[in-house]
Amino acid sequence: MDISLWSAGKNYLKGEWQKIVDVTPSLLNHFTAMEGVDSSTSSILRKSGLCWTSQPDFGLLPHPPLPGSLLIIGNRGGSASLLRYQTRENTIKIEANVSLSQTWLTYIAASPWTSASNGQCTSYLAFGSSDGLVGLARLNQALATEEPSFAFIQKPNIVLSVEKIDEPVLSQDKAGITALEWVHTAGGSDILVVCKPGVVNLWVSSDDSRLAWSGLRSLALERQRISSGASPFHPASGVSYTEHNDRLLITLFDGSIHVIQELTKDPQWKPSIEDGDFTSKTLSQRCRTIFTRVESGPVDSKVMNCINGFSIYGSGSTFVWAHE
């Protein structure tokens, strides 16, 4: 129920990290000043989803030294607060508070900013609720100057606008969401990945003509028989994408790895002939073999190598994960 921002000193790897600002008091002051809002501490601070956007590219050279990234916090009331850290003042500014759902927001994720024109950029904010709904909101940021055009030094401000998209990506189906992430491809397109028990959903905006497909595609997960407790209905614990071979790797809590081939062309499980070794079955078995080697004592099929986090390191030939 408490949110704070920390910053590193001279050495961010070995040095001390110091608290720079408490976010919670700013949220309390903001919501208690609003009319018709329950001002109890518990209702304000029930935060669930959280993400921090990248620094936007407004298409200008040189790039204006402005704090354009946003800290987005979802809550159990179905709304999201968009905050901006003010570097000079060392404070948090609440730019907007948007109602997105009627139920608890469990996941939120923002796509990378796309430069629409000089001084403007856009991003998609994806959100998932406790009833299985997955929706979108379009974020727009534009530079605006208050000084006259002939001023020697102009100090532009960033104007933020949020537009909720009525058409959902996935309708309410009461299935819990276990992963919600954006994948940025080499061609500049963004693919939304939504994992639910037993299925992986992929979505691409119909306005994006750079990919060979658009809309929604759903791929059913298959059980990888690496332990007696393995099941495709375990929650996802890792989503990684490799650009050089166009593969999406989904890791489940049961220790299995599921590989989607040709993500930008034609997403499918079946690999091509030359990539026959890079499959869900092969990687899952190799992960299981490593688990049995590093564990002390005998490991039978009843023991499940529960993976809690999985990521790709470097160009995509090295993987790192944490297991119980």
Per-residue pLDDT for 60 more than 80? no
| pLDDT (tens digit per residue) in 129-177 | 999 999 999 999 998 876 555 555 566 788 999 999 999 999 998 899 9
Domain boundaries defined on the chain: 1-177
Q: What is the mean pLDDT of the chain?
A: 87
The predicted structure's pLDDT at residue 90: 85
Between 316 and 218, the higher pLDDT residue: 218
Buried b (16+ CB within 10 A) or exposed e, 224-258: bebbeebbbebebbbbbbbeebbbbbbbbbbbbbb
Per-residue pLDDT for 83 more than 60? yes
Closest alpha carbon to 240 in 310, 159, 143, 320 = 310
Pairing type for strands 307-313 and 179-184 reads unpaired
| pLDDT (tens digit per residue) in 31-50 | 777 655 555 555 555 667 88
pTM: 0.88
| pLDDT (tens digit per residue) in 193-235 | 999 999 999 999 988 888 899 999 999 999 999 999 999 999 9
CB 136 within 8 A of CB 125: yes
- How many alpha carbons fall within 13 Å on the CB side of residue 2? 4
Measure CA 80 to chain center.
15
CB 308 within 8 A of CB 322: yes
| pLDDT (tens digit per residue) in 255-306 | 999 999 999 999 999 876 555 678 999 999 999 999 999 987 788 899 999 9
The predicted structure's pLDDT at residue 275: 58
Cα–Cα distances (Å) from 258 to 177, 271, 310, in that order, read 17, 12, 12
Average pLDDT of the segment spanning 118-126: 90
